[in-house]
Amino acid sequence: MKKSNIIMLIAVILPLGLFLFPLWKITLEAPQYPTPLGMYIHINDFADANPHDIKNINLMNHYVGMKYIPEAIPEFKIFPAGILITSLIGLIIAFKGNYKWFLYWFILMVVLSGAGLYDFYLWEHDYGHNLDPKAIMKFTNPDGTQMGFQPPLFGSKNILNFRAHSYPRLGALFLGLGIATSLIAYLVGRKNSKTTEQ
Amino acid sequence: MKNILKPVAAFVTGLLVLTSCNNSTKQSNSKSGALASNIAEKVYVSPGEHDEFYAFISGGYSGNLTVYGLPSGRMFKEIPVFSQFPTSGYGYSEETKPMLNTSHGFVPWGDSHHPDISQTNGEIDGRFIFINENNTPRIAKIDLQSFETTEIIEVPNSAGNHSSSFVTENTEYVVAGTRFSVPIPQRDMPIKDYKGNFQGALSFISVAPETGDMDIKFQVLMPGFNYDLSHPGRGKSHGWFFFTTYNTEEASTLLEVNASQNDKDFIAAVNWKKIEEYVNNGGGTMMPAEYAHNVYDEHTHTATSTIKKEVRVVNPTDVPGAVFFLPTPKSPHGCDVDPTGEYIVGNGKLSANLTVHSFTKMLDAIENEKFDGEAYGIPILNFEDVLAGTVEQPGLGPLHTEFDDQGNAYTTFFISSEVVKWKVGTWEVIDRKPTYYSVGHLTIPGGNSRKPQGKYMFAMNKITKDRYLPTGPEMEHSAQLYDISGDKMELLLDFPTHGEPHYAAAMRADIIKERSKKIYNLEENNHPYAAKSDADTKVVRDGNEVHIYMTTIRSHFSPDNIEGIKVGDKVFFHVTNLEQDFDVPHGFAVLGQNTSELLIMPGQTKTSVWEPTKVGVWPFYCTDFCSALHQEMQGYIRVSPKGADTPIKWSMGEDIE
């Protein structure tokens, strides 16, 4: 087996870490929560950072009319399937493929990940803006529009008395490493093929 | 001229030196300035910081146990034990009423005295704290995860459960020695026939190693003296228990005089391991007795009370070598064993000296059968044979002794209002400090174990007088905290205590604070009337009983409107708090209720009974400020006339159809 194919095989295996580790974490800090509330987003699940955090996030958020964080979302079925399918494709490429296919897989993964992030953004936007009209508390921005409570896609942001943090976790790192490794596999493959051609 | 100047110069210099000496002395005695603020710093705990020690102080006639922090002297909690407590509904809610059941029926008050923390290998383990009730003899166990009373056992054949509730070094037993001797079994007889007819029961309550479940393993039926205080042996004396006695005269009237006639009373030394062995081999007899055993189950959030019908009693003369009397002057009160287990201090409260017995000498005297007669078949040892030494004239009215980790003892003197520090072994007085005023017990963290944790000592005083702003004739008692880390004790702080504190148990906070429970898990709530979500809420009529399965969460009750209740009904509000967040309880009260409010912890279910006597629409509400919309957390219950046909209906979020 060629060195580039071995690297490609590693690239394909790495994203499977998503099934072991959380993809993302959102943390909400406020004075009355000495232990911040937190939520992990796995490829197929939402999980408490500390016991009952999601329940307590829901309780806090209902004052401004935010919906309860659902038990499950359709993405929890689509994303794992997507990862499994791309991994299968990746495996075939790693065993059979030419280095050029490594680049196609890389592009495929970047596009799909981008789509996933965009979907996540849309979900967050809906969660933070689609508020119950009978909400107990109504807040407006200085320009008079309704205040949104969307957590940041990436980074930290103040939302009323909370400071919200949103950062990738180990699962995302594995995915990113896998994608980057596939590019390396492509570059190594290309270099080798050039050397052979010479 | 020179000759004159010289001595003058020397004199002046001498004066200056003396003056400056004086100044420095003055400064160190001064209560103002930099040095005083140094004392303040020693007890100051910055906002958000935690105290280094927990102190659990008995409430005496409050019936409860209070939790303090040291060195700040701040009170954190009052734990209801033997008394009804409207703050939480303890003893009022249906689930906790059984905790106060006794063979005399529901007893809503108690006189709590001596808390003691469970131990493993002679060291404080912080799992449970035990406390005795003097008036209606009971022993309670408090779980130090929930800081709630989880078990109470009544002690039969006992009266004035005072020489309690001290634990052996692996918490094998909690003892409950009777202060008053009584007829055993109780019967109608002339009081003047006390002598020779009354007996004193020393009860050994076993504690299951894993669960902490209590059970009266056996009672030793002793002569009719008063058994005042007790202390377990430890280290070399592990396996023995020591009890002070007074009224060895066996007087039954005007004890002030008649029980103070004997020059020496006794410390009863009980080899409990020997009696345990005897009992394990079938020794002792089962005697009819009636006593309540109340257990709180954290999963059903409900207590059950069982009346037990018999108890195993042991006649000490049936177990030779198990019980001996050590003569101790005069009317000893405190009975304290040093951390090595060698020295047994008998604080003769009417004696000028402090008597210390030697465990080794005691064993030696027993082995050589050097007895000085007997009392009711129990051998009396020679005073001189067991005496380790005396602390000569240390003060007036010695009561209690605690030990530090440096081989020193600290004894309280009630009459002369002071704490005296003395060296164990040499019996010399090292230091003395006044208390304000009339000190009873004192406590050193871990002081009742093989490994005292030192650093602080606090005295619990009976009289407060001018120490705080006056609050009318009744004032909370004062406690005083001393730094004992140096050679000399240093008074750091006065702080008020609640009720009439007797003993206290204290310990390093880090042993238990991380284990403290934050919520009850709703999934583990097995209360038969729990509603674990708003979907489970309902109102069920069963004859004239109506059971309301109700939930609370910020900021509503479900249901919040209820109809179909009639005058003469017995309405059970079973309220489940759906919260799962630390420190978010909800309260419940309904107008005209004849009990108390409830305070329901996250994940917990509590039940309040309401028997409406008047037709109307009556509000109920949350009593604990729970959220921004706490004031809106309310509901109505409609009461129709007796015999009305208003159907049972309930709703939340919409009008009742």
| pLDDT, tens digit, 9 for 90 and up, residues B171-195 | 999 999 999 999 999 999 999 999 9
Residue B431: the pLDDT is 97
Could you read off the pLDDT of A130-185 as tens digits, one per residue? 999 998 888 888 898 888 899 999 999 999 899 999 999 999 999 999 999 999 99
B105: left (phi over 0), alpha (psi -120 to 50) or beta: left
Residue A136: the pLDDT is 87
Evaluate if residue B633 carries a pLDDT over 80. Answer: yes
Is the minimum CB–CB distance between A1 and chain B shorter than 8 Å? Answer: no
Mean pLDDT calculated for residue range B362-379? 96
Q: Give the other-Cβ count within 10 Å of A133's Cβ.
A: 6
| Set of chain A residues whose Cβ sits within 8 Å of the Cβ of B580 | 51-52, 55-56
Rounded to the nearest 10°, the torsion over CA B123, B128, B129, B133 is -130
Could you read off the pLDDT of B273-300 as tens digits, one per residue? 999 999 999 999 999 999 999 999 999 9
Residue B32: the pLDDT is 53
Residue A198: the pLDDT is 53
Residue A16: the pLDDT is 95
Residue B450: the pLDDT is 96
Evaluate if residue B8 carries a pLDDT over 80. Answer: no
CA pseudo-torsion sign B625, B630, B633, B634: positive
Record: contact B554-A59, CB cut-off 8 A:
yes
Mean pLDDT calculated for residue range B221-248? 97
Residue A197: the pLDDT is 59
Residue B554: the pLDDT is 92
CA pseudo-torsion sign B21, B27, B29, B34: negative
Distance from CA of B626 to the nearest CA of A (A): 12
Instruction: Tell me which residue in A55, A63, A136 faces B580 most closely, judged by beta carbons.
Output: A55
Record: contact B581-A52, CB cut-off 8 A:
yes
Evaluate if residue B31 carries a pLDDT over 70. Answer: no
Provide the whole-model pTM: 0.91
| HEC string for A44-97 | CCEEECCCCHHHHHHHHHHHHCCCCCCCCCCHHHHHHHHHHHHHHHHHHHHHHC
Could you read off the pLDDT of A51-110 as tens digits, one per residue? 999 999 999 898 899 999 998 889 999 999 999 999 999 999 999 888 899 999 999 999
What are the φ and ψ backbone dihedral angles of B363, each rounded to 5 degrees? -60, -40
Residue B114: the pLDDT is 98
Mean pLDDT calculated for residue range A3-18? 94
CA distance B36 to B159: 48
Higher pLDDT, B500 or B6: B500
How many inter-chain contacts (A to B, CB under 8 Å) are there? 17
Record: contact B581-A63, CB cut-off 8 A:
no
| Set of chain B residues whose Cβ sits within 8 Å of the Cβ of A63 | 628-629
- Least confident stretch, A122-136, A161-175, B23-37, B615-629: B23-37
Could you read off the pLDDT of B501-555 as tens digits, one per residue? 999 999 999 999 999 999 999 999 999 999 999 999 999 999 999 999 999 999 9
Evaluate if residue B20 carries a pLDDT over 80. Answer: no
Which structure tokens are listed for A191? 């270099």
Q: Which amino acid is at A128?
A: G
Token pair 């009777």: residue: B178
Nearest to B532 by CA among B540, B544, B524: B524
Evaluate if residue B119 carries a pLDDT over 90. Answer: yes
Residue A193: the pLDDT is 82
Mean pLDDT calculated for residue range B342-360? 93
Instruction: Tell me which residue in B554, B580, B629 faces A52 most closely, judged by beta carbons.
Output: B580
Mean pLDDT calculated for residue range B617-631? 95
Residue B35: the pLDDT is 58
Confidence tier at B29 by pLDDT (50, 70, 90) = very low
Which residues lie below 8 Å from residue A85, measured CB to CB, with a gap of 6+?
none
Higher pLDDT, B3 or A58: A58
Is the minimum CB–CB distance between A138 and chain B shorter than 8 Å? Answer: no
Evaluate if residue B30 carries a pLDDT over 90. Answer: no
Which structure tokens are listed for B395? 């003060």
Distance from CA of B580 to the nearest CA of A (A): 6
Mean of pLDDT over chain B: 94
Evaluate if residue B25 carries a pLDDT over 80. Answer: no
Is the minimum CB–CB distance between A55 and chain B shorter than 8 Å? Answer: yes
Could you read off the pLDDT of B438-470 as tens digits, one per residue? 999 999 999 889 999 989 999 999 999 999 999
Kind of pairing between the strands at B173-178 and B161-167: antiparallel
Record: contact B628-A55, CB cut-off 8 A:
no
Residue A92: the pLDDT is 94
Residue B454: the pLDDT is 81
Which residues lie below 8 Å from residue B529, measured CB to CB, with a gap of 6+?
B547, B549, B572, B574, B605, B607
**Minimum CA–CA partner of B581 in chain A:** A56
